[in-house]
Structure 1
Amino acid sequence: MPSLSTGTALSPVRVRFALLALALGGFAIGATEFVAMGLLPNLAADLLPGLYASSPDAANAQVGWLISAYALGVVVGAPTIAAAAARWPRKKLLLALLAAFTLATIASALLPSFGLVLVARFVAALPHGAYFGIASLVAAELMGPGKRARGVAIVLSGLTIANVIGVPSITWLGQIAGWRIAYLTVAALFALTFVAVIIAVPFQAGNPGATMRNELRAFSRLQVWLALLIGAVGFGGLFAVYTYVAPLVIEVTGLPALAVPLVLVVVGLGMTVGNFVGGALADRSVRRSMYLFFAVMLAALLLLAFSAHTLAGLLIGVFLVGGAASALSPTIQTRLMDVAHDSQSIAAALNHSALNIGNALGAYLGGVVVAAGLGYVAPIWVGLGLSVLGVVLAVTTFAIDRNRRRRGVDVPYGTQLIGVISPS
């Protein structure tokens, strides 16, 4: 039976409630991260009215910066907060992160100009990676030995379920009542999570021996950098598509704007299925899981590129893209936790830095091709190129493992950038 770090046994019911509270935070984060995708034209029309009137494509591309700003905030905040606060009791840290989420999301909803909203989205993203990282460590301890990836998947399930229920419904609300009401609704979800964590999540001590220096040692390992690059580059395939899904649905497939939330439901269903399948398979073999889901991603992007003008092609394509990308997330997070050795707090958070570099990269490069007048299918080809590079990096990192085993090195993941083999 799982237990607290103090040794007190937890009942199965208490464990389930604690995991549900952690997943609720993932749900709120999924809503705040992804709701802008479905409301891109609404944000552009309200925050950049002059540009939108003269060139909707240019305005949509510029408002895509809000998504990139959020992603960059995750990149900055995840390692910084995780390393600095590794010694904090985990419940206390989760509550501080949720309070910051709530306040910054309210600011996103209320600030008047595009520039200020851009800053608010960056600030709102700072707690993102640290929350998922710490919540994943809490969930892994609650789940027990041999179930790390499944613990990660439970926390991430909130994010994926948000794409089935939360993002489409909040997108619909934003289309009807305005995007600012949509963000205030997201802020209310964070406040609800704050209360749920107070009630349901048990105390867990931080790592009393952790220091920022020790946590940052993760960055000295070549395999950590390769795992980060796999997430950053490979995951860009999803966000090159997802960022511009609303204009893809309207301009390419020819569906009305009210169909966008329904397409987002399909993306979310794919992400939910992929998350749980990826978590289960990663506990068996990280390598096979990574290769499998990159293959599915490549096939799905090709299918979408050639058939997005049809309803069936659009729905099947976005389902598979969302599923493959979401399955890669617990796989990459488990890989990072393997290769980071004792730097577990920062390793658990770094996955979200990597994925949100992919978010920023996919959104930016997709915006470049859209602004160049290449249309809304062009970001899909951008995503395909990024995913191919992710496959190359995956092959490289596992080739290093094989080479080390052939040489009889008993530390499969410890090569340092400076050429020294770290102790296991």
Structure 2
Amino acid sequence: MPLGLIALAIGAFGIGLTEFVIMGLLPDVAADFAVSEAAAGWLISGYALSVVVGALGLTAATIRLPRKPVLVGLLVLFIVGNSLTAIASTYEVAMLGRVIAALCHGAFFGIGSVVAADMVPANKQAGAIAIMFTGLTAANVLGVPFGTLLGQHSGWRSTFWAISGIGVLALVGILALVPAIRHVAEGISLRQEIGAFTSLQVWLSLGVTILGYGGMFGAFTYIAYTLTEITGFNATTVPWLLMLFGVGLFAGNWIGGRMADKSIDRTLLFFISALLVVLVLFGFFAGNQVATVLALLFMGGFGFGTVPGLQSRIMQYAGNAPTLASGANIGAFNVGNALGAWAGGLGIAAGLGYTSPIWIGALITLVALLVIVLAMILAKKASVASPQLVAAG
């Protein structure tokens, strides 16, 4: 395994941590800046929106540049943003820091996916991408609980100083371990990168990403309410149950990457179908504690098991201009996150109860399943019509 993949995973760990850890620190941040928790929540929403902007804008702006220096620059941006949040004297400055840090998020994962794939043979590319995304899953399993604990005992700013330190470690690692690969997109113009979006399969892949991720987060965003109000767990057990969900993310990412190296589309079909089954069963048995524990584990596993395949699929159908499409797919994950949270919230607001986000998530996942089936059918027809076409699955 190329050591450069470890450096990319450390960067992914820091970025995942800065995105998610603030959820557990919102009361402290709100009290420090004397703002409502709703206003503090914009530090999460503002981050997510900025990820989408950065995924497209920064990726497009750096298309013609060598990828290793771009990754270094993105990590510098990440360090500056988190340091600014850590020293912020006002809510507005903290928000600015969050926006700056978020701008690097989508571009780092998009470009990093291409770099990770370039470091290994073609038949191991999905696995290489999965190794990078292992950092993101580790951020959920270990980083968020310990980052929250650090913030609660030493002040929320200490967590962001720690995140900045992780950014420095990743920066050094990339400088030392990631090779300056002569990338295949050399000579590719922005127009050619945009041209990747003329492929229907690229758009179908983006749709599966939004809907598949949206289905999982539709159920997960309000999971604390489900666990305490429906399942009957004590609130103090919720963080440990969420760690179990994170274990599922970790395992799903690892298994999904290896399966996708053999067949991308069949892997996606399997994981999305399994996620749908898990969500339906969870909806029926949310009142049972044992069933809920199992549902959390498998929801994380099957939900995140799609990630390496989704990222590999869009890069494959983008052909020789995969960078912007790869970044767009990272933005699509965040759009799915927002879609799931919004749709699940509608169910609760409509008085349908705290299991309604699970059923809404299942419905979104069903649509994702229909889209990947359609994409597979169209890909098969295209490969029959044009035998030289390289299909994804």
TM-score, length of structure 2 as denominator length: 0.89
Counterpart of 2:8 in structure 1 is 22
* Cα distance between partner residues in 2 of 1:242 and 1:46: 28
User: Among residues 147, 171, 180, which one is paired with 2:124 in the alignment?
Assistant: 147
What letter matches 1:31 in structure 2?
Answer: L
Asked whether 1:190 is paired with 2:195, we answer: no
| Equivalent residues of 1:68, 1:359 under 8 A apart | no
* Cα distance between partner residues in 2 of 1:165 and 1:333: 24
* Cα distance between partner residues in 1 of 2:78 and 2:250: 23
Counterpart of 1:305 in structure 2 is 283
What does the per-residue CA deviation read over 1:17-58, in whole Å, with 9 as the maximum and x for residues that have no partner? 3221111111112211222344456556666765x6xxxxxx
1:45-64 paired onto structure 2 within 5 Å = 59=38
1:272-351 paired onto structure 2 within 5 Å = 272-351=250-329
What letter matches 1:327 in structure 2?
Answer: G
* Cα distance between partner residues in 2 of 1:48 and 1:335: 45
Asked whether 1:233 is paired with 2:211, we answer: yes
What letter matches 1:128 in structure 2?
Answer: H
What letter matches 1:87 in structure 2?
Answer: R
What letter matches 1:224 in structure 2?
Answer: V
* Cα distance between partner residues in 2 of 1:178 and 1:376: 32
* Cα distance between partner residues in 2 of 1:306 and 1:283: 34
What letter matches 1:150 in structure 2?
Answer: G
Q: CA deviation at 1:264?
A: 2.3
What does the per-residue CA deviation read over 1:102-143, in whole Å, with 9 as the maximum and x for residues that have no partner? 222233444466666555434322211221122222222222
| Equivalent residues of 1:110, 1:180 under 8 A apart | yes
Counterpart of 2:377 in structure 1 is 399
Asked whether 1:86 is paired with 2:63, we answer: yes
User: Among residues 18, 21, 25, which one is paired with 1:32 in the alignment?
Assistant: 18
Secondary structure, aligned partner of 1:88? coil
> Which structure 1 segments of 5+ residues have no match?
1-11, 53-58, 415-424
With over 3 angstroms needed to count, the CA separation of the structure-2 counterparts of 1:63 and 1:384, relative to structure 1, is farther
| Equivalent residues of 2:88, 2:94 under 8 A apart | yes
With over 3 angstroms needed to count, the CA separation of the structure-2 counterparts of 1:306 and 1:47, relative to structure 1, is farther
Counterpart of 2:112 in structure 1 is 135
With over 3 angstroms needed to count, the CA separation of the structure-2 counterparts of 1:107 and 1:371, relative to structure 1, is farther
With over 3 angstroms needed to count, the CA separation of the structure-2 counterparts of 1:185 and 1:213, relative to structure 1, is same
Secondary structure, aligned partner of 2:122? coil
With over 3 angstroms needed to count, the CA separation of the structure-2 counterparts of 1:162 and 1:354, relative to structure 1, is same
Q: Size of the alignment, in residue pairs?
A: 391
* Cα distance between partner residues in 2 of 1:317 and 1:379: 14
Q: CA deviation at 1:93?
A: 0.9
Counterpart of 2:199 in structure 1 is 221
Secondary structure, aligned partner of 2:331? helix
* Cα distance between partner residues in 1 of 2:119 and 2:187: 21
| Equivalent residues of 1:65, 1:364 under 8 A apart | no
What letter matches 1:154 in structure 2?
Answer: I
Q: CA deviation at 1:394?
A: 0.8
* Cα distance between partner residues in 2 of 1:46 and 1:374: 35
TM-score, length of structure 1 as denominator length: 0.83
* Cα distance between partner residues in 2 of 1:246 and 1:68: 19
| Equivalent residues of 1:38, 1:261 under 8 A apart | no
What letter matches 1:234 in structure 2?
Answer: G
What letter matches 2:163 in structure 1?
Answer: V
Q: CA deviation at 1:304?
A: 2.6
Secondary structure, aligned partner of 1:87? coil
With over 3 angstroms needed to count, the CA separation of the structure-2 counterparts of 1:47 and 1:266, relative to structure 1, is farther
* Cα distance between partner residues in 2 of 1:118 and 1:274: 33
Counterpart of 1:4 in structure 2 is none
Q: CA deviation at 1:310?
A: 3.8
> Which structure 2 segments of 5+ residues have no match?
none
What does the per-residue CA deviation read over 1:127-177, in whole Å, with 9 as the maximum and x for residues that have no partner? 112211222222222222311101111111111122221122112333444
Asked whether 1:106 is paired with 2:92, we answer: no
| Equivalent residues of 2:125, 2:261 under 8 A apart | yes
| Equivalent residues of 2:80, 2:100 under 8 A apart | no
Secondary structure, aligned partner of 1:202? coil
What letter matches 2:261 in structure 1?
Answer: D
What letter matches 1:76 in structure 2?
Answer: V
Report the aligned-residue RMSD: 2.7
Counterpart of 1:419 in structure 2 is none
With over 3 angstroms needed to count, the CA separation of the structure-2 counterparts of 1:392 and 1:64, relative to structure 1, is farther
* Cα distance between partner residues in 2 of 1:46 and 1:38: 14
